[in-house]
Amino acid sequence: MTQQTELTRPVSAATRMAIADCDIHHSPREFTMLYKYLEPRWREHLDLFGQRARQGNYSGPQYPKSQPDASRRDAWPPGGGRPGSNLDFMRTHHLDANNIALGVLAMIRPHPGGFQNLDLSAALCRAINDWQVAEWTQPEPRLKASIVVPYEDAAASVREIERWAGSPDMVQVLLLSRTVEPLGNRRYWPIYEAAAAAGLPVGIHAFGNGGQPTSSTGWSSFYIEDMVGHAQSCQSMVTSMVVEGIFARFPALRVVLIEAGFAWLASLAWRLDRNWRRLRAETPHLTRLPSEYIRNHIWLTTQPMEEPDPSEHLRDVIEWIGWDRLLFATDYPHWDYDDPQTAMPLRLTQQQREAFFIGNARDVYTPGWRNQP
Amino acid sequence: MTTLAPIDCDIHPSIPNLAALLPYLEDHWRETVRLRGMDELNSISYPARSPLTARPDWRPDRGKPAATLEQIRNECLDPFGSALAICNCLYGVQLLFSEDMAAAFARAVNSWVAAELLDREPRLRASIVVPTQNVELAVDEIERRAGDPRFVQVLLLASGDQPLGKRVYWPIYAAAARHRLTIGIHAGSAYHNPPTAVGWPSYYTEDYTAQAQAFQTQLSSLICEGVFNQYPDLMVVLLESGWTWLPAHLWRLTKYWRGLRMEIPWVDRSPFDIVRSNVRLSLQPTDGPPDSASLERVIEHLQSDALLLFSTDYPHWQFDGADPLPDGLPASLVRKIMVDNPRATYARLLEPVR
Amino acid sequence: MSRHVVAPVTEVPPGSHRQYTVKGRPIAVFNLDGEYFGMLDRCPHQGGSLCAGVISGVLVSSKPGVYRYERKGEFVRCPWHGWEFDIRTGQSYCDPAKIRGKAYPVNVASGAEVVEGPYVAETVPVRVEEDYIVVDM
C-alpha cells in the first residue's frame, strides 16, 4: 500500500478548487419537524402506527451501524441535533471547508419510497420535498435537492415528479436501490418516462428494503456483509435496468448510482455483454450491447472510494468505466465519508481532476452550464 | 492449445433422465417416483434448450448433452487432452423441500456417477452432491463417499437457504476438511430465495448474470463468518463464477474490514490474504474485457498466479473451438492454470485410485 | 529536532487526549495512566482528526464466536472510518507494518527544567513548580 504517514499539508479553503459533492445527507433535527408540511391525517397516522418499511424494527437496528447515527463522530452539530440536521453547521463544517460549489442532497433519513402504505409513502414524500426546498435549498443556493418519490407507486411518483419539473431547486429524482422488484421491471417505467420528460436524471441511492432477503442466498449475519452487499444488489439492479431495456425505451434517461461503489461495473459490463451475445434471443428489445447502454446512460458517485493496493489499479478501472462517468461524493456526514483532499490517490491531469471533482457533476445535474457566462 | 494435459476442474455430465436414477434409489423412493408421478428434477438454472446450456456442436439430436460416457469422451476428454476431469453433476436435488427426499436423490446421483462414469473412465473424478437442505444428512453423504478417492470435492450451489458461512453449515466443512475434500461452490440456486437481492428478474439472462453476485455474497460470508479460521486447510473452489469480479469485490471487502473488523475480530488478516490461501476459481467463463491487454490488467489485479483453475465448463457454451484459454494469458500462467494449480488445490487428485 | 512545551500536565489527565499545534502541525497528545504519547492528529487513511475519535480497547479472537476485549484505553478509533491505532506506537491494527500514524515522543519536564532550556515554549506560560508536557519534533 502506498500509504502516506503524513498526509498533504492542510490547504486553506480559499486555494482549493471548487468541487461538487453529489451525495450529502440532510435530515430534520426531529422527525416531527416534517409535520408542518404534512396533512393532519398523516401526522396522526404516523403517531399511531409509525413507519412500516418492509423491515422488522420500528426503532433500533437489525444491523447496528459502526458509529452512532452511522455518522462521523466529528459531525454532530455543537448546538445539538443529528449530524446533517443543522444547515449553519453544515455550511461551515463541510460546504465552506471543502469549497463545495454544488452539493446534491439525498434524503434517505428516511426516504419513504419503500413504505408499505403507499398513501403514506406519497404524502411523506410530498412533505419532505416541500421541507427540503423551504429549509435547505432556498436558504443555501449551493445545495440542490433530489425529488424523493413513492417509487413503489409509479403513478404517484409521476405526479410528484411533475409537481417539481422545472424547479431550479431539484436536480434529480431519487429512488433507493433495494426495491420490491428489480428496478428494470415495468412497474417502474412511468417513473423513468416522467424523469426523462422533465430532463431530470434518476438517482438511485444504495439502501432501502424491498422485503426479500438482501442476497440471493438469504440474510447475512453482519453489518459489514450488508454494506459490501450493496455492490451485489446494485449489480442485479443494473442488470435488470439494462436487460429489461429501459435505456432502449427511454433514450433520454440518465441514471446515477449513488453510494454503490463503482469498480464492479467493469466486470459486470463484460459479463452482461458475454451473456447477452449468447442469450440475445430472449431480449430482442435490446439493439445494442449491454455495455453500450451502461456507457451511455449510467453515472456513478465515487463514495465509498475504491481503495486497491496498489492504487494504480484504480486507474485501470476508471479507464474501463470512463473518466466522464464518475461524480465525486463525500456522503457527509456519514461515517464512511470520503475526504475531497485525500480520497483520490491517483495523480490526475488537470482535465481529469476537473471532470472527476466537478465537471461531470455539472454535466449531469446542470446541463448547459458550459455555455453559461 | 499447448500440449499440456490439463486437469479440467468443471465439467457437467447430465443425468439422462429421472428413470436413469431408479436403479440407484432405495425401494421406498423408487416407489415414490412411480406413485407420485415424479418425472424430472431439472432446474431453471440451465434450461434444456437455452444456448448457454450446451454448445451447438455438443448438442445431440436426441437426449441431453453430456449424458453418455461416449459424448463426454469424444467431445471433452479427448479433444482437450485432459489428464483428468472433475464431474459436477447439476441436477435439481438441492431444490427439493423435503430433506429426506433430497438426501435420497443425492445418494442416487452419486451412485449413478460412480457406477456409470467413474467405474468406466479412469480420467474422471467427481464432486459429492449433498442435500444442503439438511446438514446432518449432507455430512452422512460425505462420509458415505469419503472412502472412494475418486470423489475429490463436495458440491454446493451458489444460492441456497442461508449464506454458506453460517455456522449451521460448518459440519459440512469439518467433514470435508477431515477427508481432504475441497468445497466446490457452483453457479446455480436452490431458488429458496429470489435469485437476486432485489427479487425475481424477468429474464434468464438476468438470472445467469446474477450468479456472479451470488458468488460475491458467499465469499463475503465465508470470510466474515470465519470459516477459514475454523478450517485453515479448507480449500473452496468457485466454479463457473465468471471470476473477473474478484479484485473489485476484495477491494470493497478489505476496505470495510479495516473499519468494521470489530464485528468479526477472528478475521485477523486481509480478505485478499485469505483468498490467496483458501479460495480458487475455475477459468470458464472468463467474463473478460474485449481486448487481451485489459485482461492482462485484470490478471495483475488478482495479484496471484495460484487462483485460477483450468475448466471447460463442458457442455455449457462458454467458448468456441478447441481452446478454452482466453487470449491475454501470460505463458507462465498457462501451465499453472492447466496443471499446477489444480494439483495444488485438489489434495485427493494426488491420491492413488485403486 | 526541538523540544516543544505544549501544556501543563494537568491539562491532559490520565485517560484523556487533546490536540496541540506544534510547528504548525496538529499533534494529538494522549495520557495512558500517566504515560504520554503523541501522534500526528491526522489519520493516515483519509486524514480524520484522531482527537475526535473514541478511545477504546481492542477486540481480538482466537476463533469465531470468541470475543476478547483487551488493552482497554490503549487504542484510538478514527472518527470517520473507525480504523484502530495503537496509541503507544501509532500502528494500525489492520496493517501494522504499512499503515501507521506518525508518532512523536512526548515527555514530562519539570518547570525548572523548562525554564533552564533548551525548550520552545512560546505560547505556554511556565511556572517552576509545575510539570509540563513536552513534544519532540
Query: Chain C: which residues have CB within 8 Å of chain A?
Result: 40, 42, 44-49, 52-54, 79-82, 95, 98-102
> How do residues C25-57 score in pLDDT, each as one tens digit?
999 999 999 999 999 999 999 999 999 999 999
Q: Residue C82 is nearest to which of B226, B260, B265, comparing CB atoms?
A: B260
- B302-334 core/surface letters (b: 16 or more CB in 10 A; e: else): bbeebbbbbbbbbbbbbbeeeebbbebbeeebb
Secondary structure of residue C104 in the 3-state scheme: strand
Q: Which residues pair with A103 in a beta bridge?
A: A21, A143
Residues A348, A319 contacting (CB under 8 angstroms): no
The domain tally of chain C equals: 1
Q: Which pLDDT tens digit goes with each residue over C55-66? A: 999 999 999 999
- Residues β-bridged to residue B269: none
- Give the DSSP H or E segment for C131: strand C131-136
Bridge pairing between strands C3-8 and C131-136? antiparallel
Chain B contact present for C24, CB below 8 A: no
| A161 alpha-carbon distance from chain centroid | 17
Q: Give the domain ranges of chain A.
A: 16-365
Residue B228 contacts residue C23 (beta carbons within 8 Å): no
C81/B258 Cβ within 8 A: yes
ipTM of this predicted complex? 0.97
C-alpha A32/C-alpha A40 separation (Å) is 12
Q: Does B259 touch chain A (CB under 8 A)?
A: yes
Q: Cβ A336–C53 below 8 Å, yes or no?
A: no
State whether residue A32 sits within 8 Å of chain C by CB: no
Q: What CATH number should be reported for the domain holding residue C15?
A: 2.102.10.10
User: CATH classification of A16-365, choosing from 3.40.50.2000, 2.102.10.10, 3.20.20.140, 2.40.110.10?
Assistant: 3.20.20.140
What's the pLDDT score for residue C129?
A: 86
DSSP letters, B236-283, are: EEEES---TTHHHHHHHHHHHHHHHGGGSTT--S-HHHHHHHHEEEE-
Q: Could you say which of B230, B258, B262 has the minimum Cβ distance to residue C64?
A: B230
A298 pLDDT higher than 70: yes
Which of B205, B244, B260 should one mutate to test binding to chain A, selecting the residue with the greatest count of A CBs within 10 A? B205
Q: How far apart are CA C68 and CA B202, in angstroms?
A: 48
Which of A1, A66, A73 is the best residue to mutate to test the C interface, defined by the most C CB atoms within 10 Å of its own CB? A73
How many Cβ atoms are within 10 Å of B145's Cβ, its own excluded? 23
Closest residue to C99, CB basis, from A3, A72, A73: A3
Q: Which residues of C touch A66 (CB under 8 A)?
A: 82
Backbone angles phi, psi at A145, to 5 degrees: -110, 165
| A280-A281-A285 Cα angle (round to 5) | 75
Query: A187: nearest CA in chain B?
Result: B202
Phi/psi for A168 (5° steps) reads: -70, -10
Helix axes A223-244, A290-297, angle to 10 degrees: 110
C81 closest CB neighbour out of A5, A335, A341: A335
Q: Which three cell numbers stand for residue A57?
A: 424494527
pLDDT(A189) > 70: yes
Cα–Cα distance for residue pair B215/A215, rounded to 1 Å: 10
For residue C46, what are the contacts with CB-CB under 8 A and spacing of at least 6? A337, A338, A339, A342, A343, C80, C81
**Which chain B residue is nearest to residue C65, measuring alpha carbons?**
B266
Q: Are strands C25-32 and C17-22 parallel, antiparallel or unpaired?
A: antiparallel
How far, in Å, CA of A183 to CA of A180, rounded?
Answer: 8
Tell me the CA distances in angstroms from C22 to B149, B274, C73, C104, C120, one per residue in order.
68, 41, 25, 11, 10
H/E stretch holding A118: helix A118-132
State residue A2's pLDDT score: 38
CB distance B259–C82 less than 8 Å? yes
Give C80 to chain B, closest Cα distance, Å.
9
Q: Which helix (H) or strand (E) holds C60?
A: strand C54-60
Contact between chains at C40 and A6 (C-beta distance less than 8 A): yes
- Distance to chain B for C64, nearest Cα, Å: 6
Q: Residue C127's pLDDT is what?
A: 85
Counting residues of chain A whose pLDDT is more than 70, the rounded percentage is 96
Q: Chains that contact B by 3+ CB pairs under 8 Å?
A: A, C
Cell readout for B304 is 496471484
- Please return the burial class of A297, using the count of CB atoms within 10 Å of its CB with bins 0-12, 13-18 and 19+: buried
pLDDT at position A3 is 41
User: Cβ atoms within 10 A of the Cβ of A59, count?
Assistant: 6
Distance CA A63, CA A43 (A): 28
The pLDDT score that the predictor gives to residue B51 is 97
Helix, strand, coil tally for chain C in percent (to 5): 10, 45, 45
Task: Check residue A59 and give its pLDDT.
Answer: 87
Q: How far apart are CA A101 and CA B304, in angstroms?
A: 43
CA distance C11 to chain A (A): 21
Alpha carbon A3 to chain centroid, angstroms: 29
pLDDT digits (tens, 9 = 90+) for B243-279: 999 999 999 999 999 999 999 999 999 999 999 999 9
Residue A67's φ and ψ, nearest 5 degrees, are -145, 160
φ, ψ for residue A241, nearest 5 deg: -65, -40
Amino acid at A119: D
Residue numbers in chain B where pLDDT is lower than 70:
1-2, 354
Does B202 touch chain A if contact means CB atoms closer than 8 Å? Answer: yes
Tell me the HSE value of C55 on the side-chain side, using a 13 A CA sphere: 17
CB proximity list for C52: less than 8 A, separation 6 or greater: A73, A74, C79
Sequence-distant (≥ 6) Cβ neighbours of residue C42 within 8 angstroms: A6, A7, C26, C48, C49, C50, C101
Name the residue range of residue C46's domain: 3-136
% chain A with pLDDT above 90: 92
Among A181, A271, A307, beta carbon nearest to B199:
A181
- Per-residue pLDDT averaged across A358-365, rounded? 97
Which residue in the set C42, C45, C82 is minimally distant from A67, CB to CB? C82
Residues of C in contact with B268 (CB under 8 A): 60-61
C-alpha cell belonging to residue A281? 434471443
Overall pTM > 0.95: yes
Q: In chain A, what residues touch C100 (CB-CB under 8 Å)?
A: 5
What does the longest C-alpha to C-alpha distance in chain A come to?
Answer: 61
A:C CB pairs within 8 Å? 55
Our CA angle for A339, A341, A346, nearest 5°, is: 105
- Separation of alpha carbons B168 and B166, rounded Å: 5
**Nearest Cβ partner for C59 among B258, B265, B270:** B265
B40: which 3 cell numbers? Answer: 424430472
From the list A207, A209, A265, A204, the residue with the least C-alpha distance to A235 is: A265
Q: How close, in Å, is residue A307 to chain B by CA atoms?
A: 6
Q: Which residues of C55-72 are buried (b: 16+ CB within 10 A; e: fewer)?
A: bbebbbbeebeeeeeeee
pLDDT at position B2: 55
| Closest residue of chain B to C99, computed from CA coordinates | B258
Give the contacts of A49 (CB within 8 A, at least 6 positions apart).
none
Q: Annotate B106-119 with b (16+ C-beta within 10 A) or e (fewer).
A: bbbbbbbbbebbbe
What is residue A15's predicted lDDT score, i.e. its pLDDT? 60
The DSSP code for B348 is G
Q: Is the pLDDT of residue A139 over 90?
A: yes
**Cα angle C81, C85, C90; round to 5:** 135
E strand map for chain A? 19-24, 100-105, 143-148, 170-176, 202-205, 255-258, 298-301, 326-327
Residue A13 pLDDT > 60: no
Per-residue pLDDT, A370: 77
Omega before residue B285 within 30° of 0, cis? yes
Element spanning A296, H or E: helix A290-297
B159: nearest CA partner in chain A: A217
Q: Is C23 left (phi over 0), alpha (psi -120 to 50) or beta?
A: left
Question: What phi, psi does C60 have (nearest 5°)?
Answer: -125, 170
Strand arrangement of the beta sheet that strand B151-159 belongs to = B7-11, B84-87, B124-129, B151-159, B182-189, B236-239, B279-282, B308-309
The tens digit of pLDDT for each residue in C82-132 reads 999 999 999 999 999 999 999 999 999 999 888 887 888 767 888 888 999
Contacts of A233 in chain B (CB under 8 A): 196-198, 213
Beta-bridge partners for C18: C29
Q: What is the pLDDT of residue A125?
A: 98
Q: How many CB pairs under 8 A join B and C?
A: 43
Contacts of B204 in chain A (CB under 8 A): 279, 282
